[in-house]
Amino acid sequence: MYIFEEIVKNDNDIFDSWLKRKNINKWLGGIDDWYKYFEYVNSTPDYFLIKALFDNKIIGAITLEIIEETGNISFMVNPDEQNKGHGRKILSLFLRQINQIIKRDIKCINAYIEPNNIASKRCFESCGFKYMGLDDEDMEEYIYNL
């Protein structure tokens, strides 16, 4: 069973170690220092850092930035647990529970994915995100209406 909780300071070493792994960092290259990122996100009321637990083990992390009634989402799965279906299950469950988890009412969610990140694109598409085209930074934009 998956459970969602807010990421707390004691979790930082786990996520920092994931970010240092090449197969994670190449897709989340904008986060160079997890500790600084955590402090920034926690100082901003429109950002949410959520961990996904499976059998009491941290299995994934979701970042959600709210702009008006839209959420911009990214997430990562524990590198040792990838290719086991966790990403799809985490994202699908999160989408069903999002307004209860973040206690905000949003209308849609955007995901911006590197064009060559095939696994991420498949995951988001399988959860109902629709491809919208390339954005200004040549990222593939996907949208999910709640």
Label residue 32 by pLDDT band (50, 70, 90).
confident
Cα separation, 53 vs 80, in Å, equals 14
Average pLDDT over residues 3-17: 94
pLDDT of residue 19: 82
pLDDT of residue 30: 66
Closest CA to 75 of 93, 62, 88: 62
Residue 94: DSSP 8-state: H
Label residue 31 by pLDDT band (50, 70, 90).
confident
Closest CA to 8 of 40, 50, 36, 56: 50
Would the pLDDT of 29 be above 80?
no
pLDDT of residue 87: 94
In CATH terms, 2-145 corresponds, of 3.40.630.30, 3.40.50.720, 1.10.1740.10, 1.20.120.1200, to 3.40.630.30
pLDDT tens-place string over residues 129-140:
999 999 998 999
pLDDT tens-place string over residues 93-113:
999 999 899 988 899 999 999
CA distances from 90 to 80, 111, 136, 139, 140 (A): 15, 15, 28, 22, 21
Strand order of the β-sheet with 2-6 is 2-6, 47-54, 57-67, 70-77, 108-113, 140-145, 130-134
Cα separation, 126 vs 93, in Å, equals 12
For residue 109, the cross-strand partners are 71, 144
Domain boundaries, the chain: 2-145
Would the pLDDT of 20 be above 90?
no
Would the pLDDT of 119 be above 70?
yes
